[in-house]
Amino acid sequence: MRLENKVALVTGGGSGIGYHTALRFAEEGASVVVVDINDAAGQKTVQEIEAAGGRAITVHADVSKAADCERMIQAAESAYGALHILFNNAGISHADDDDAINTTEDVWDLTMQINVKGVFLGCKYGIPALRRAGGGSIINTASFVATLGAATPQLAYTASKGAVLSMTRELAAIHARENIRVNALCPGPLRTELLMKYLNTDAKKQRRLVHIPMGRFGEAKEIANAVLFLASDESSFVTGANFLVDGGITSAYTTPE
């Protein structure tokens, strides 16, 4: 059991990558704090973990609110005595996100509030808890678009994930001597509800798929296994990484013709 006696907090744990990661963490022995703004989704994840013999609680939180982020960290320490793994995963990709001309300020601001400020606040309150535990692992969900940019315009999302990647690198450098590792998970295009809502036409889907050497969208379960590696001691010498799990899409873009 790779996470035995560990306590892990997962934001956005009610769906997609967060849901599958929460289940994997529990399978590997962690006590899991499932954080979501959707109470029913968070509770469903907890019920599945408990039904399989694991330990989990759910916490309602809007990660763009400081008080909510402080409370979710307190809930983890109160319930399980410590926090060792922080997966800042909650995020949005707005259907109206477009280029600089067509993206509204409201869409830009909402995306930044959740995708960037949410990671900042998770780290702001989570890092002291990891210090109290003697160290641990932080995984921040960025995206392959933080490295490449997107073929289909989604400027706010791309900019937000670039910010997450940069923030992760700096935090990794700051906290490396404290036994706190900080890595950016950068998934490629996935067959999740979030992306499929955005790629809402066959033309948009094909525009993404043509660039993926594997010829398919990734699955959230596959990403969960990558998160497990970054959370576990198996990645003990990995920090500040741009951890790409993308079906080869970055290689396809960067390989010379």
- Give the 3-state secondary structure of residue 255: coil
1 in Cβ contact with 18 (< 8 Å): no
- Choosing from 19, 125, 157, 198, which is the catalytic residue? 157
Question: Which two structure tokens, joined as six digits, stand for 9?
Answer: 């907090």
Whole-angstrom Cα distance, residue 75 to residue 138?
A: 17
Known active-site residue 19? no
Residue among 170, 199, 196, 197 nearest 184 (CA): 170
Radius of gyration for the alpha carbons in the chain, expressed in angstroms and rounded: 17
- Give the 3-state secondary structure of residue 138: strand
228 in Cβ contact with 24 (< 8 Å): yes
Active-site positions? Answer: 157
